[in-house]
Amino acid sequence: MPNSDEAGTQVVEPHRKSRNGYNECQNRHIKCDETRPECRNCAISELVCPYLTIPSTPNGPVAASTLTSVVGNHLLAVPRATQDGTRHSGPTFTATHLAFLHYAVTNMLDFMALQVRGRPVIDAALENAYKAPYLLDQVLALSALHILTQDVVQSSSFHWQATELQIRALGLFNKAKDHISEDTYVPTFLFASLLGLYVLHKTLH
């Protein structure tokens, strides 16, 4: 006869990794890495990931994917809710993002094929970083995309950086598109233009 301790203990089955990942990622046609406690696509786009509500085995192996190992220390830090329930405003940027920004400032004429100075685009992205952060993310994504064509050794890392920034830019834009005003006409127009360049580059390569 089983004792009361064994009868009262519930066995928590370990998480079985699904073949196709989280449905939201499928709907957005992007590969879900199923990283716990939340998949990185949801973290980057600041969405509520269902994985946060699914318990995992305390002593079980930590789910890790090859995508996470490729990116390594280049993970994007996403704002989290504080103890009082508030959230930090805007996305977080890393030293790597600053390097992408510097590259954009010094090489924009080249990789965007502009006939005029590219600095106004950078200035607009920085000036509107608070009310239209998607523009700055889009500039950084395009910069990372061009850098990977120049650095073959780290091309995989830069490719994922570009993808992460692009996902975050689209997520931020989708949240803001219903509140476009006269103050955001310029950054919205620039965002659409840079997004077109990004898609064109991905299509041709």
Q: What is the pLDDT of residue 31?
A: 65
Name the residue among 195, 91, 83 with its Cα closest to residue 139: 195
Is 90 exceeded by the pLDDT of residue 116?
A: no
Q: What integer is the mean pLDDT of 146-175?
A: 87
Taken in order of first residue, the domains within the chain and their CATH numbers are: 4-64 (4.10.240), 95-204 (no CATH)
Examine residue 37 and say whether the peptide bond preceding it is cis (omega within 30 degrees of 0). yes
Q: What is the rounded CA–CA span in Å between residue 38 and residue 49?
A: 6
pTM of the model: 0.54
